[in-house]
Amino acid sequence: MSAQPAEDDEDLTARLVAFVGALRSKGIPAGTSETVDAAAVIDVLGLHDRDLLREGLASALVRRGGQRDVFDMTFDLFFPAGVGVSEAAMDAAGMELDDLRDLLAMALADGDLRTLEQIAELAVDLLGEVGVRDTNTAGWSAYQTLERLRPQTLIAQVLEQRGQGGAGGQGQGQGSGQGQGGSDQFTDRLERDELRQSIERFRQMVQAEARRRTAEVRGREVVTRHAVRPGNDRIDFLSANRQQLEELRRTVQPLARRLATRLAARRRKNRRDRIDIRRTLRRSMGTGGIPIKPVYAKPNPARPELVLLCDVSGSVAGFSGFTMHLVQALSSQFSKVRVFAFVNAMDEVTDMVDLEEADLAGRIGREAHITKWHTSSDYGEAFADFAELFMDSVGPRTCVLVLGDGRNNNQDPNFSALHEISQRSRRTFWLNPEHSTRWGLGDSVASEYAEVVEMHECCNVEQLTRFVSRLLPV
Amino acid sequence: MTVSFESPADVKQRLARAGYLASDAVATTVYLAATLGKPLLVEGPAGVGKTALSQAVAEATQSELIRLQCYEGVDEARALYEWNHAKQLLRITAGRDETWDEARTDIFSDEFLLPRPLLQAIRRDGPTVLLIDEVDKADVEIEGLLLEVLGDFQVTVPELGTIAATQRPFVVLTSNATRELSEALRRRCLFLHVDFPEPDLEADIVRLKVADLDKTLADSVVRVVNALRAMPLRKSPSVAETIDWARTLLALGADILDDEIVQQTLGVILKHRDDTEKATAKLDLNTVLGS
């Protein structure tokens, strides 16, 4: 991959700065000193090897795990492997869809990544073009390409090809070469899953290629803004799709570990150095009002209890599910954690929250009593339920978290029930996954609820993390 | 710089000779860290060879490896230097008739200084690799100290003056990301995230470490381990565990993987009961067990 166009320094500097700017807009906080490091990296490594350059720039600009995907996507746009259509693709112009599928099946059977990459290039060129050329609707669509190519339907065909043992085992394709002895090899049962992973890789290649081609006609900045996914901790809970939620669920455990150390540190800090003002002043009476010896507050060894009231209806379910999992994983930091779920009726679900459970909302919907005569959320009704049935779970050591968007479908919001809950508790917070600009619009009564209890915007993992580590009582 | 390489390819070659097979990412970053003279911050799951990397760099460049193991409560006296109080007391009692000035200049001399890893690394003349292991376990206060030391590679001992490094050591910091390291520390380092290696590379690593292992078996082992890593396990098997497993299979004299042998040796790669159960179900091992 040596198709880097020769550039003079001026151009390269501008490109690097634009690249860093694009990274920042996607949540990688690279500062000036990082940019200087990156420039030094380019200076040392040169531009002749793109893979080395990628790793080198990553080491200077990415400062934590989990940002690498964003970096790679942006890197592909700003330092593309080539321009326009490659020669292989030129040769293949006029190829039919079926030929392409056969080619793909062969490459998958071989497990040859290089070939897969070339096929992705071809496929986008042949199948992916959308919009009208030379206008601002022009571009290449990964979605359209994959929809026409349907690589997931090739699995059976590929397995058959491998089974024949004819396909030479290059690259990763160790499985096929050794299959001759007998098809009951232990590793054979892994083939289907491995194939699925290869197809997923191919899918990503197509997406990257579509972004690259589109960036050529529409400009890199436009594509970066719209097509590069933000890192996991910036994904909006409300607009996350199933796959993203699944990814988020996998980050719960490490996140909980980090938060636990932070909470533990805060607790340690609380234990010492807190001056009891009232008793210090009282003692200062003995020395003529001069506080010579401060009195320190007694440490409070009891850990707080946590009660979660989660709206699990429709769009909020993703956010609630993530937070329930997180709190469960953090349970060692609290003396007791109880989780309640509601749509318009409140029920305890503490025992159902298990990190292994992928479809938490579904299970709660099936097994818990969370709806009455209708299925739209009704906060007022649910709070009234809670006040009536579970009020004894809230005490002066309890911190109550309400999770929900406050969209009440024009029912009675029942502020007094929420007020009562918040009065009995030590602290009550409302975490709202909607942007604060939308609170109070439409059927949302979030801004009225915000007057009763403290409300925080929690659109993504980043904001949730900040809330847990700074505000949650320890 | 005494720890230096010619190119990323050179890094790869020399590390391989020291028994460490590096990926492109690792080789490039090590090369840059050596060339730019910056500390290297290595993050990644346990057991992917973060610590082994610095040992290999030390061996490949014939440097001495100085290691500072961090833990909760590690302090300046453990990391930087300490005065040998007991010896100082002995010295004072020995010289009974001395004046105070004589005694003072004597007991605060080099003889009574106990250099800890950071100071050792700075004072050394030969090529040095300084490994600061599990820096995330240390308290935040230590980071401040590290910033100073890693910034200009000099240490001020009030009684002795400032000691500056004659040559910069090659510094590797490792972290398991249990705590967020401060931005300031991250900014001074080159960052390297080491993940589980690609299957091909892992198979090579296994065969390097377990020399007698058959190539086919090594490939199968790596494929199974990769399949396990794709499952939502409590603890994914690391490279170290792959190697252990390969050794076990070799010791048992297995030449191909079959249900029985996998079932018997699963404990080598999976360390939790629920993980074992999950893997058994997923890999269809139960059918054999039942029969």
A376 shares contact with chain B (CB less than 8 Å): no
Q: Which residue of B has its CA nearest to A181?
A: B256
8 Å CB contact of A190 and B223: yes
Q: What single DSSP character describes residue A444?
A: B
User: Which residue type does A219 have?
Assistant: G
Residues A24, B235: Cα–Cα separation, whole Å: 33
Residues A460, A229: Cα–Cα separation, whole Å: 14
Distance from CA of B37 to the nearest CA of A (A): 11
Number of A/B CB contacts below 8 angstroms equals 104
Please determine, for residue A172, whether its predicted confidence score (pLDDT) is greater than 50. Answer: no
Please determine, for residue A93, whether its predicted confidence score (pLDDT) is greater than 70. Answer: no
Q: What is the pLDDT of residue A4?
A: 45
Q: Which residue of B has its CA nearest to A255?
A: B178
Tokens of A471: 């505000």
Q: Where residue B131 falls among pLDDT bands split at 50, 70, 90?
A: very high
SS3 annotation, A190-246: HHHHHHHHHHHHHHHHHHHHHHHHHHHHHCHHHHHHHHCCCCHHHCCCCCCCHHHHH
8 Å CB contact of B183 and A29: yes
Tokens of A199: 């197809």
Tokens of A366: 């099936």
Chain B positions in Cβ-Cβ contact with residue A31 (cut-off 8 Å): 187
Q: Where residue B59 falls among pLDDT bands split at 50, 70, 90?
A: very high
The Cβ of residue A164 has, within 10 Å, a number of other Cβ atoms equal to 11
Coil, strand or helix at B190:
strand
Residues B239, A167: Cα–Cα separation, whole Å: 30
8 Å CB contact of B232 and A37: no
Distance from CA of A30 to the nearest CA of B (A): 9
Please determine, for residue A170, whether its predicted confidence score (pLDDT) is greater than 50. Answer: no
8 Å CB contact of A55 and B25: yes
Distance from CA of B167 to the nearest CA of A (A): 21
Q: What is the pLDDT of residue A8?
A: 62
Q: Where residue B12 falls among pLDDT bands split at 50, 70, 90?
A: very high
Residues B275, B243: Cα–Cα separation, whole Å: 19
Nearest CB neighbour to B190, from listed A60, A65, A262 = A60
8 Å CB contact of A258 and B191: no
Beta strand A336-342 with A346-348 is: antiparallel
Nearest CB neighbour to A187, from listed B32, B35, B220 = B220
Beta strand B190-193 with B154-157 is: unpaired
Residues B121, B155: Cα–Cα separation, whole Å: 11
Sign of dihedral through CA atoms B265, B271, B273, B279? negative
The residues, ordered by sequence, that sit 6+ positions from A343 with a Cβ below 8 Å of its Cβ are: A311, A312, A313, A370, A371, A375, A376, A377, A378, A382
**Unique residue bearing structure tokens 């005065």:** B83
When mean pLDDT is compared across A23-32, A221-230, B109-118, the lowest value belongs to A221-230
8 Å CB contact of B179 and A62: no
Question: Which helix (DSSP H) or strand (DSSP E) does residue A76 occupy?
Answer: helix A68-78
Residues B217, B222: Cα–Cα separation, whole Å: 9
Tokens of B70: 């961090």
When mean pLDDT is compared across A94-108, A183-197, A392-406, A444-458, the lowest value belongs to A183-197
User: Which residue type does A103 have?
Assistant: L
Overall average pLDDT of the B218-226 stretch: 87
Nearest CB neighbour to B29, from listed A51, A59, A257 = A59
Q: What is the pLDDT of residue A91?
A: 67
Q: What is the pLDDT of residue B68?
A: 93
Q: What is the pLDDT of residue B290?
A: 36
Q: Has this prediction a pTM greater than 0.90?
A: no
Instruction: Transcribe chain B into DSSP letters.
Output: --S--S-HHHHHHHHHHTT----HHHHHHHHHHHHHT--EEEE-STTSSHHHHHHHHHHHTT-EEEEEE--TT--HHHHTEEE-HHHHHHHHHH-TT--HHHHHHHHTSGGGEEE-HHHHHHH--S-EEEEEETGGGS-HHHHHHHHHHHHHSEEEETTTEEEE-SS--EEEEEE-SSSPPPHHHHHHSEEEE--PPPHHHHHHHHHHHSTT--HHHHHHHHHHHHHHHTS--SS---HHHHHHHHHHHHHHT--S--HHHHHHHHHHH--SHHHHHHHHHHTT-HHHHH-
Summarize pLDDT for B234-278 with one digit per residue, the tens: 788 899 899 999 999 888 888 778 878 888 888 888 888 888 888
Question: Distances from the Cα of A217 to the Cαs of A77, A129, A133, A143, B60, in angstroms?
Answer: 12, 12, 9, 18, 48
Residues of B with CB under 8 A from a CB of A: 8, 24-25, 28-29, 31-33, 35-36, 38, 43-44, 140, 177-180, 183, 186-187, 190-193, 199-200, 216, 219-220, 223-224, 226-227, 230, 232, 256-259, 262, 283-284
The residues, ordered by sequence, that sit 6+ positions from A98 with a Cβ below 8 Å of its Cβ are: none
Residues A464, A250: Cα–Cα separation, whole Å: 16
Q: What is the pLDDT of residue A156?
A: 79
Q: Where residue A274 falls among pLDDT bands split at 50, 70, 90?
A: confident
Q: What is the pLDDT of residue B15?
A: 92
Question: Distances from the Cα of A467 to the Cαs of A210, A436, A462, in angstroms?
Answer: 38, 15, 9
Q: Where residue B60 falls among pLDDT bands split at 50, 70, 90?
A: very high
Please determine, for residue A181, whether its predicted confidence score (pLDDT) is greater than 50. Answer: no
Please determine, for residue A415, whether its predicted confidence score (pLDDT) is greater than 80. Answer: yes
By the 8 A CB rule, do B265 and B252 touch?
yes
Please determine, for residue B188, whether its predicted confidence score (pLDDT) is greater than 80. Answer: yes
Tokens of B286: 């139960």
What is the share, in percent, of chain A residues with pLDDT greater than 90? 8
8 Å CB contact of A37 and B38: yes
Q: Measuring CA to CA, which residue among A449, A467, A446 is closest to residue A327?
A: A467
Overall average pLDDT of the A408-421 stretch: 88
Interface test with chain A among B193, B196, B265, by most A beta carbons within 10 Å = B193
Beta strand A129-130 with A139-140 is: antiparallel
Nearest CB neighbour to A254, from listed B177, B216, B284 = B177
Nearest-5° Cα angle at A239, A236 to A244: 75
Coil, strand or helix at A340:
strand
A257 shares contact with chain B (CB less than 8 Å): yes
Coil, strand or helix at A84:
coil
**Unique residue bearing structure tokens 């401040």:** B144
Residues A351, A366: Cα–Cα separation, whole Å: 14
Residues B194, B50: Cα–Cα separation, whole Å: 7
Tokens of B208: 């390097």
